[in-house]
Amino acid sequence: MDIVHDISVVGYGVEDGNNYWLVRNSWGTQWGEEGFFRVCRGTNNIAIESNCSWATPKDVSEKTWHMTTDAEKTDPLNDTVVYEFPQPEYSGDDSPANKAPSTGGCRVEKAVFAGGEKKHSPNAWDVISADDVPDVADWRNMNGKNYLSWNKNQHIPQYCGSCWAQGSTSAIADRFNILNGDMATSPIGLNAQAIVNCQAGGSCDGGDPADVYKYAHDTGLAHSSCEQYTAFNL
């Protein structure tokens, strides 16, 4: 089954004996259950369990101000054609990871991490017993606290097949909010538009979410205020 849409999983639960994943979409809060929806869990419904990516932040204390350089402004990978379809493939770095897909879908067939997984801490399943995992988890209301970044709509002001950038930046922002814990004074939000503009994985014609995680690790992601780049390490 081809996977043609990216979302972020924010929890799971059971209703009337049916296991489900709680999922945030990127089509605005007027869609579904205020922007969220539920998917059957344990049956790979809509291939939700076939290909999953995540980030584990190392630090949430550093933020650095970033002044855009001339080289960044003139980078041939910059998306200088706004919402033209199909968007062009830029000639700067011709490696497959940096080419804008031309399939017309929202994402590539399968996310591929160039250079492999970046692992700096044990995976959760290596340190937490399955018996200790709660039956229900909802990061919108975890012990009375909402750890999620805000919902976004990839189709405003008009259609953009950027779910690969929307889902990944939402998931990464949530992980920073969770790591912040009670120290968080306001939710962290990461700018998906900056990712699309930089062609850091694709364009409005689709892209590879794995490249967003790599870009976050290697370069950093712009805060939604557009005033700073996060220097957080993944």
Q: What is the pLDDT of residues 118-177, one digit of tens each?
A: 888 888 888 999 899 999 999 999 988 899 998 989 988 778 889 999 999 999 999 988
Q: What is the predicted pLDDT for the residue at 226?
A: 53
Dump pLDDT digits (tens) for 44-96: 998 899 888 888 887 655 566 667 778 877 877 666 665 555 555 545 554 54
Q: What is the predicted pLDDT for the residue at 41?
A: 96
Rounded to the nearest 10 degrees, how much is the dihedral formed by the CA atoms of 82, 226, 232, 50? -40
Dump pLDDT digits (tens) for 7-40: 999 999 999 999 999 999 999 999 999 999 999 9
Backbone dihedral region of 83: left (phi > 0), alpha (psi from -120 to 50 degrees) or beta? left
Determine contact, residues 229/220, Cβ cutoff 8 Å: yes
Torsion sign over Cα 105, 110, 115, 119: positive
- 145's tokens: 């606290």
Q: What is the predicted pLDDT for the residue at 103?
A: 47
Q: What whole-number distance in Å separates Cα of residue 11 and Cα of residue 18?
A: 14
Q: What whole-number distance in Å separates Cα of residue 66 and Cα of residue 8?
A: 27
Q: What is the DSSP code (8-state) at residue 101?
A: P
Q: Would you say how long the chain is, in residues? A: 234
Which segments within 8-129 are labelled E, that is strand?
8-15, 18-24, 36-40, 63-65
Q: What is the predicted pLDDT for the residue at 147?
A: 92
Tokens 């700073």 sit at which residue?
228
**b (16+ CB within 10 A) / e for 132-143:** eeeeeebbeeee
Tokens 């980030």 sit at which residue?
55
Q: Which domains does the chain have, with CATH numbers?
A: 54-130+137-230 (3.90.70)
- 84's tokens: 């033209």
